[in-house]
Amino acid sequence: MEAAREAAAPGAEPGVAAVVLPERLQRREAERQQGVERQRQRKEAQVVKEEQSEFFIAAFTREREAVEGLLAAGVLEEAAARLQGLQKLLTESVRFLAPYEVRQGQEAVARLQSDLGARRQQLQPKKKFAFRILKKEAAPGCESRPAEPARPPAASAAPAPGYGPAEGEPGGPPLCGFSGVEDEELELGPAELLQRDVLLSELRRCRVRLRGNANTLRVRDCRGCTVLCGPVSTSVLVDGCSDCLLALACQQLRTHRTRSSLFYVQVTSGAVIEDCTKVSFAPYTWSYPGIERDFESSGLDRNRNNWNLVDDFDWLATDRPSPNWSLIPEQERISCWE
């Protein structure tokens, strides 16, 4: 008997081995049950996610078809309001949608925005015919007045050379904005921006102030620029930019192929980056007289800002932060913009 005790538990008191063994079994059983519970929770979460995705697809399809019908019927104001609701549905669903579903939704919204702009132009009343006043020929011996120099590209109701449809909107209506300008101070006001689609492209070392409520904003291929923008009702796309400083307020921010840039953002649904490096984020702090009125007309919630929720499509690891973006330290953030 004594030999059996020593063999069961060398150097231990009698009965200890009999107690330790069940404890180990209990611990293993507890770990197994925890693993089973985790698997069950993951399956339930996946089912919920799939159900949410199915609900979104059904609701999105229904609203998209309604907007298309309103556009075909020429009921543009209601179509614009439903389209804004469609954009809101998409931005609020980003957190549980697959990346390809987000892209499909964004493409559908961009196409409808393009169709809305085209229908607005199509249904605009045509200008009335008017006689032109012809210039009188200069009298003999008199010098003709020299022509005024052409102005640099600037935004207006009619597009200037270099303007074009925004990304994802082939054949869309011309946009207002600035293109191909270097070393200039550029500005647009509330009347020029109200629910317009704005494009800034191929700017170099410019400072741009957009005081008002635009519908969308596209910033493309800009270098060393500062872009200060009031509330945008729907989405902002920054593509192919570098060494820029941007203050943006919008429902959704998408950033592609951009590097070494600072973003001060007020964003409802969070920011998405893809193929970006050395981009940093801080909360939106730019202001100007009348900005509260512009926030009201944009429909953005001033109290809801997910400026630090950044989704990097190139970084899939969940246990380590993406090296492609960071938060701007508080002591380094800009508080005075002028």
pLDDT tens-digit readout, 194-217 = 888 999 999 999 999 999 999 899
Give yes or no for a contact between 108 and 83, defined as CB atoms under 8 angstroms apart: no
What is the structure's pLDDT at 126? 57
Q: Please, which pLDDT band fits residue 270 given cuts at 50, 70 and 90? A: confident
Give per-residue pLDDT as tens, 83-102. Answer: 878 877 877 777 777 777 87
Determine how β-strand 252-256 pairs with β-strand 277-283: unpaired
Residue 283: helix, strand or coil by DSSP?
strand
pLDDT at 259 over 50: yes
pLDDT at 168 over 60: no
Q: Could you give the dihedral angle defined by the CA atoms of residues 213, 285, 312 and 222, in that order, rounded to the nearest 10 degrees?
A: 70
**Cα 150 from chain centre:** 35
Q: Please, which pLDDT band fits residue 45 given cuts at 50, 70 and 90? A: low
Distance CA 15, CA 151 (A): 98
For the chain, the straight-line distance linking the first and the last C-alpha, in angstroms and rounded, comes to: 92
pLDDT at 136 over 80: no
Q: In the predicted model, what is the mean pLDDT of residues 274-283?
A: 95
Residue 324 DSSP label: T
Whole-number CA gyration radius for the chain: 30
Residue 139: helix, strand or coil by DSSP?
coil
| Tokens describing residue 35 | 């693993």
What is the structure's pLDDT at 30? 81
pTM, two decimals, is 0.55
Distance CA 225, CA 206 (A): 5
What is the structure's pLDDT at 26? 79
Q: Kindly state the percentage of the chain with pLDDT values over 90.
A: 36
